[in-house]
């Protein structure tokens, strides 16, 4: 089974990654055995097809009723480590696993277009707002959670939705402040300072309509300033002060490295990764940083057998073995996250402990519903 890789994040070359053929269960299978395994017919689009929505609390019954036959598991994902995780899971379980690696936006459009006839079993991207939207469309399995939830830290538990429709797997910050030490000796210590004359023409950020992790940053600024209108006023001041807006982290960080801008607001993992290769860059966390979770959700319309395999994948991701794969699959990018499971530590390059960062969380059901309107406002008023 071959994973599909069609996105182009962080200016990476488009490529396909080959997964090994299904293998016998290895040592990790002992951990996974309790999760069950399942089977169903793959849909014409490569995923499992279901005829009705799974009901709340159906995870255990799916595992119990699943046959021992293994069928393809299809994962729509936009994480730098997703293909590596798919390979590891397939090797550990023998379950053929396909990863459709693309950007969050195109994948979400596909999911909404497929509706009740999904070609996917799992969805894995950064940001809970998109999952809140899918949940409101009744496209996500509700009422199931992995056993590892009991080991989550306080931040992790705070991110779990009440209807248990998706699972956070790690967090980054949206957005960290990254600056060029060659040009900046005293970096800003508050978001409000970015509108001051000394930073005129020196600040850069991503376009929230293009860069998935940027919308939570924009929403987070609006939340801490007291509302949408207050946040709009802040970004209008930034624009008046010469704000540079680029499409993605790659473009913004390139502008930082070349001196076109002096400070940038980007996802923390991207900033840390850039600082690993360019020692002139530094990462700072301002009050408040918006917590950006990587999130897994299971389709509500897969068969019982495919649901059981999807649950097994989630359990694997949250196991020690799965967490190690998350941290090795993209060591200068998405792997630079903060784990949510007690006892799991971030990569050394992440540096500042999560507990020492002043953070805030968004209500994804509130801010998810505002995303299209806010992004349109940003395009019309800040980019123009």
DSSP characters over 82-123: HHHHHHHHHHHH---EEEEE--HHHHHHHHHHHTTS-S-SEE
Is the pLDDT assigned to residue 360 strictly greater than 90? yes
pLDDT digits over 265-275, tens only?
Answer: 999 999 999 99
Is the pLDDT assigned to residue 48 strictly greater than 80? no
Look at 51-65, 328-342, 346-360 and tell me which has the smallest mean pLDDT.
Answer: 51-65
Task: Using the structure block, give the residue that is written with the tokens 């070609």.
Answer: 119
Bridge-based pairing of strands 97-101 and 176-180 is unpaired
The predicted pLDDT at position 59 comes to: 41
The per-residue pLDDT of the chain, averaged, comes to: 86
3-state secondary structure 221-247: HHHHHCCHHHHHHHHHHHHHCCCEEEC
234 shares a domain with 128:
no
The predicted pLDDT at position 60 comes to: 42
Is the pLDDT assigned to residue 36 strictly greater than 50? no
Which structural domain, as residue segments, surrounds residue 197? 173-291+355-383
The predicted pLDDT at position 251 comes to: 95
pLDDT digits over 158-187, tens only?
Answer: 999 999 999 999 999 999 999 999 999 999
Per the CB < 8 A criterion, the answer to whether 131 and 165 are in contact is: yes
The predicted pLDDT at position 141 comes to: 98
212 shares a domain with 129:
no
| Domain-located, residue 64 | yes
86 shares a domain with 37:
yes
The predicted pLDDT at position 7 comes to: 43
Confidence class of residue 4 from pLDDT cuts 50, 70 and 90?
A: low
371 shares a domain with 253:
yes
Cis peptide before 184 (omega within 30 of 0): no
Confidence class of residue 21 from pLDDT cuts 50, 70 and 90?
A: very low
Confidence class of residue 105 from pLDDT cuts 50, 70 and 90?
A: confident
The predicted pLDDT at position 18 comes to: 35
Is the pLDDT assigned to residue 383 strictly greater than 60? yes
| Domain-located, residue 2 | no
CA distance 44 to 41: 9
Confidence class of residue 68 from pLDDT cuts 50, 70 and 90?
A: low
Per the CB < 8 A criterion, the answer to whether 338 and 172 are in contact is: yes
The predicted pLDDT at position 324 comes to: 98
243 shares a domain with 368:
yes
Domain count along the chain: 2
Residue 327 has, within 13 A of its CA and on its CB side, a CA count of 19
29 shares a domain with 75:
yes
116 shares a domain with 179:
no
163 shares a domain with 66:
yes
The predicted pLDDT at position 1 comes to: 58
Per the CB < 8 A criterion, the answer to whether 173 and 291 are in contact is: yes
Here the CATH number for the domain that contains residue 91 is 3.40.190.10
Is the pLDDT assigned to residue 32 strictly greater than 60? no
102 shares a domain with 17:
yes
113 shares a domain with 27:
yes
Per the CB < 8 A criterion, the answer to whether 173 and 292 are in contact is: yes
| Domain-located, residue 268 | yes
CA distance 202 to 243: 7
95 shares a domain with 16:
yes
| Domain-located, residue 46 | yes
Q: What is the mean pLDDT of residues 205-215?
A: 91
Q: What is the mean pLDDT of residues 139-158?
A: 96
Look at 18-22, 69-73, 160-164, 215-219 and tell me which has the smallest mean pLDDT.
Answer: 18-22
The predicted pLDDT at position 52 comes to: 34
More confident residue, 60 or 381: 381
Task: Report the predicted TM-score, pTM, of the whole model to 2 decimal places.
Answer: 0.81
CA distance 27 to 187: 49
Q: What is the mean pLDDT of residues 47-70?
A: 44
Is the pLDDT assigned to residue 322 strictly greater than 90? yes
Q: What is the mean pLDDT of residues 274-288?
A: 97
Q: Where are the alpha helices (DSSP H) in the chain?
A: 29-32, 59-65, 82-93, 104-114, 129-136, 154-158, 214-225, 228-240, 249-258, 268-277, 304-317, 320-328, 364-368, 371-378
Element (H, E) at 53: none
Residue 173 has, within 13 A of its CA and on its CB side, a CA count of 26
What lies within 8 Å, CB to CB, of 94 at 6+ separation is: 22, 23, 24, 25, 70
274 shares a domain with 298:
no
Is the pLDDT assigned to residue 289 strictly greater than 80? yes
Look at 9-18, 241-250, 302-311 and tell me which has the smallest mean pLDDT.
Answer: 9-18
The predicted pLDDT at position 216 comes to: 95
């Amino acid at each position: 089974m071959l994973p599909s890789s069609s996105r182009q994040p962080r200016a990476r070359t488009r490529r396909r990654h080959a997964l090994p053929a299904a293998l016998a269960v290895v040592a990790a299978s002992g951990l996974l055995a309790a999760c069950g395994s399942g089977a169903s017919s793959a849909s014409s689009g490569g995923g499992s097809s279901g005829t009705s929505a799974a009901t709340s609390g159906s995870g255990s019954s799916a595992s119990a009723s699943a046959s021992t036959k293994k069928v393809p598991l299809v994962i729509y994902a936009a994480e730098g480590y997703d293909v590596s995780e798919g390979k590891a899971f397939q090797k550990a379980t023998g379950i053929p696993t396909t990863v459709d690696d693309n950007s969050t936006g195109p994948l979400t459009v596909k999911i909404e277009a497929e509706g009740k006839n999904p070609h996917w079993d799992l969805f894995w991207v950064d940001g809970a707002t998109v999952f809140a939207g899918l949940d409101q469309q009744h496209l996500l399995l509700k009422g199931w959670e992995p056993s590892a939830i009991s080991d989550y830290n306080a931040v992790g538990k705070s991110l779990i939705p009440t209807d248990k429709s998706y699972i956070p797997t790690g967090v980054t910050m949206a957005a960290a402040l990254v600056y060029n030490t060659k040009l900046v000796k005293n970096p800003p210590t508050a978001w409000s300072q970015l509108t001051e004359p000394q930073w005129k023409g020196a600040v850069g950020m991503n376009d929230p309509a293009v860069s998935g992790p940027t919308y939570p940053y924009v929403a987070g600024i609006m939340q801490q300033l007291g509302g949408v209108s207050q946040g709009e006023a802040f970004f209008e001041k930034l624009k008046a002060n010469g704000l540079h807006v680029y499409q993605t982290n790659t473009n913004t960080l390139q502008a930082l490295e070349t001196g076109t801008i002096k400070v940038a607001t980007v996802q923390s993992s991207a900033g840390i990764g850039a600082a690993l290769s360019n020692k002139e860059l530094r990462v700072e966390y301002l009050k408040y940083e918006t917590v950006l979770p990587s999130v897994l959700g299971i389709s509500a319309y897969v068969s019982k057998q495919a649901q059981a395999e999807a649950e097994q994948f989630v359990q694997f991701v949250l196991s020690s073995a799965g967490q190690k794969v998350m941290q090795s699959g993209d060591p200068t990018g998405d792997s630079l996250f903060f784990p949510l499971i007690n006892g799991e530590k971030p990569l050394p390059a992440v540096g500042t402990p999560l507990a020492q960062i002043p953070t805030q969380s968004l209500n994804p059901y509130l801010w998810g519903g505002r995303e299209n309107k806010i992004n349109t406002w940003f395009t019309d008023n800040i980019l123009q």
